[in-house]
Structure 1
Amino acid sequence: MLDSLVSGAPLSAQVWLVQMLAYHGIGLWFEWLDRSGALKRFKVKRMERIGYFELLPRVLANQTFVLLPAMLFVQWAGLAFVGSPTISLPVFVACVAAMTIGHDIVQYIAHRFILHRPDMMRRLGHAVHHSTIGSLGISACYMSAADFFLEIVCPYLIPLALVPLGTNFLVHSLVVASGAFGGLYEHSGYDFSLTLRESGDGRAPGRLRLALARMISTEAHSAHHSRGNVSFSDGFGSTNICDTLFRTRFDLVPERGAAKA
């Protein structure tokens, strides 16, 4: 019965369901890691003062009453989740690359120039998200509805509307599942790049290991939560284009109070 219900739903709703299963499944996995201490050597940030189930209601409200209607709307308007069900590998790769760049640009504009404006920080509720320290995976979507729309929904759906991703269910599922993991991981307080930065023989790790470590590090978004004025779109899976171009990348901005050379 559930299968027939899902198969009869709009593609956008089906993809939303996959996103929810991925987000909350991975979120619970990070919660299990926190409770069990299974990978505690990779936990680089202290635990949040607020717990998983205290954050959950607001997260679910954002996903159900903001994200789902927005996804249904863009399909109804013919902007996304429409077209051919088949997509070639080169087109898929090009679409994912374009969406990644588009996500970087849209999120940077919304995050830096709107949400972090002093007069908008509380008015639009971005302060709610910053009431967490980025050490609990599910906090990725713990924010006001306006913040969630500008920082999560728009960077996903605007680039999606500009690329011919078509109606392939598996393709859309891969996109949302990978996005869910990225957001949860960079808010989890874990940094799995530590294993690449360490060398068992005591020698400094090579360039390839350091490059891979940089790609999977959560240091950038962690710095955003702790410093507030850096890495507005720089994070796990990001192209880092805007933060690099505007010199707001965490490793390009001196920490407040640091002595100038």
Structure 2
Amino acid sequence: MSDASGGLILPLSVLTFAVQMVVYHGVGLWFEWCDRAGRLPAYKMRAVERMSYFELLPRVLFNQVFILLPAMVLVEVLGLAFVGAPQIGAVHFVLAMIAMGVGHDVVQYVAHRFVLHRPGLMRRLGHGVHHSTGASRAVSACYMGAPDFFLEIVLPYLLPLTLVGAGADVSFHLLVASLGAIGGLYEHSGYDFSARLPRDKTGLRGRFYALLRSFSTSKAHAEHHRRGNVSFSDGFGSPGICDSMFKTRWDLVGDRGEPRERPAESPRRRKQAA
């Protein structure tokens, strides 16, 4: 939104927040419509959340309006983000997008695993509120206690943003905010769009579909909600660096918390090999 001279009418942080809200609640309502109308049943992997859309919405809006928005405005006022060059180069744009993904992964993993899941802090910081849902209704992505929201949503977004030097590039900020909203909604929606991708392909095509499935599945965060001890930052669109490095990825940990034995090392396979 700009005036006749080409300048923004709203501060960039506020404009970015407004666009993010349109995307978040627009896509969230689309998922809600799919739930109510029974659309895409082949992709709905988890039963619809017991809490209704309107039961979840007030806390979601409180977190977004009274925590996220002031934090975004504050970093702009302090000159830490949303300020600077009106446009960044293509290479900088791409590298900054990658850095945002990596930074988000690292910050969320540290806050999520070592703070929010620490005994005695989970309930106190409101993360237990989020785990009272089953990641099966999209809007629940931001349903959590206020301290939890700050540590798990705001910091992983704004801390990397202050470091990548994206200036006041409107397209960059709107893209980052929109993709973040869609990713959170999808992994809490109960839908998994990787479910119907081919699994019987081999060779280069098989590897392509395997990569596409690993990127588009919502399984990781569903397993986090189910078990609580896996996939602390691994999810839709996330590189999953920390979960892979620390072996807390959902497919590397058994239901009881022990490292999952690789199929090639199973007793049956070893016996067959002998």
- Normalising by the smaller structure, the TM-score range is over 0.9
Contact 1:55 1:142 (C-alpha < 8 Å) held by counterparts: yes
Q: Distance in 1 between matches of 2:48 and 2:38?
A: 12
Aligned residue for 1:105? 106
Aligned residue for 1:227? 227
Aligned residue for 1:215? 215
Residue 234 of structure 1 aligns with an amino acid whose one-letter code is D
- Which whole-Å deviations, capped at 9, do the CAs of 1:31-89 have from their partners, x for residues lacking one? 01111112011000011110111100000000000000000000001100011011111
Residue 253 of structure 1 aligns with an amino acid whose one-letter code is V
Distance change >3 Å, CA 8–CA 250, structure 1 → 2: same
Identical counterparts, % of pairs: 57
Residue 65 of structure 1 aligns with an amino acid whose one-letter code is F
Question: Rg larger in 1 or in 2?
Answer: 2
CA offset at residue 164 of structure 1? 1.2
The worse-fitting range, judged by mean Cα deviation, of 162-171 and 249-258 is: 249-258
- Which whole-Å deviations, capped at 9, do the CAs of 1:226-251 have from their partners, x for residues lacking one? 01000000000111110011110001
Which aligned segments of 4 or more residues in structure 1 are displaced greater than 3 angstroms? 257-261
Aligned residue for 2:250? 250
The worse-fitting range, judged by mean Cα deviation, of 250-259 and 87-96 is: 250-259
Contact 2:199 2:206 (C-alpha < 8 Å) held by counterparts: no
1:48-197 to 2 correspondences below 5 Å:
48-197=49-198
Q: Distance in 1 between matches of 2:197 and 2:43?
A: 12
CA offset at residue 97 of structure 1? 0.5
Q: Distance in 1 between matches of 2:19 and 2:216?
A: 23
Contact 1:197 1:213 (C-alpha < 8 Å) held by counterparts: no
Contact 1:42 1:192 (C-alpha < 8 Å) held by counterparts: yes
Q: Give ranges in structure 1 of 5+ residues lacking alignment.
A: none
CA RMSD in angstroms comes to 1.9
Aligned residue for 1:9? 10
CA offset at residue 208 of structure 1? 1.1
CA offset at residue 9 of structure 1? 2.0
How many residues align? The count is 256
The worse-fitting range, judged by mean Cα deviation, of 76-85 and 204-213 is: 204-213
TM-score by length of 2: 0.89
Contact 2:67 2:146 (C-alpha < 8 Å) held by counterparts: yes
Q: Distance in 1 between matches of 2:155 and 2:33?
A: 30
CA offset at residue 257 of structure 1? 8.1
